[in-house]
């Protein structure tokens, strides 16, 4: 997984079985690995779960991510509508879950 943040590339990877459910998790885990690289290992995220579901007429990717610190864990959820590419929507849902905290974590 390659992300560009402030014009800089960050790459995360994850390995595991190629089942449909595992592939979704791997996409989210690779996204978190890229973010952890950006944060230079200062913070750790744990993927609680990721899924794709129907809500009314829409298909939605949903991710639940925990920020793990010495003080405990804080869980966050994010979502993204699935348009053309399910994996892209999983990345966006994962980023949406941590977006609320990312600014705080990177503040000087």
**What structural domains does the chain harbor?**
2-106 (3.30.160)
In this prediction, residue 81 carries a pLDDT of 98
pTM: 0.88
In this prediction, residue 103 carries a pLDDT of 64
Residue 80 Cα to chain centre, angstroms: 11
In this prediction, residue 42 carries a pLDDT of 79
Query: CA 96, CA 60: separation in Å to the nearest integer?
Result: 13
In this prediction, residue 108 carries a pLDDT of 44
pLDDT in tens, the chain (108 residues): 788 888 889 999 999 988 877 999 999 999 999 999 988 877 899 999 999 999 999 999 999 999 988 888 999 999 999 998 999 999 999 999 998 777 655 544
Query: CA 96, CA 70: separation in Å to the nearest integer?
Result: 23
User: Which segments of the chain does DSSP mark as H helices, in order?
Assistant: 20-38, 86-106
């Amino acid at each position: 997984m390659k992300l560009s943040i402030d014009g800089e590339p960050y790459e995360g990877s994850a390995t595991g079985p190629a089942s449909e459910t595992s592939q979704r998790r791997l996409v989210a885990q690779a996204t978190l690995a890229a973010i952890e690289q950006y944060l230079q290992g200062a913070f750790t995220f744990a993927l609680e779960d990721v899924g794709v579901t129907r809500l009314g007429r829409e298909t939605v990717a949903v991710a639940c991510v925990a920020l793990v610190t010495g003080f405990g864990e804080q869980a966050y959820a994010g979502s993204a509508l699935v348009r053309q590419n399910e994996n892209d929507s999983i990345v966006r849902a994962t980023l949406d879950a941590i977006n609320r905290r990312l600014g705080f974590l990177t503040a000087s």
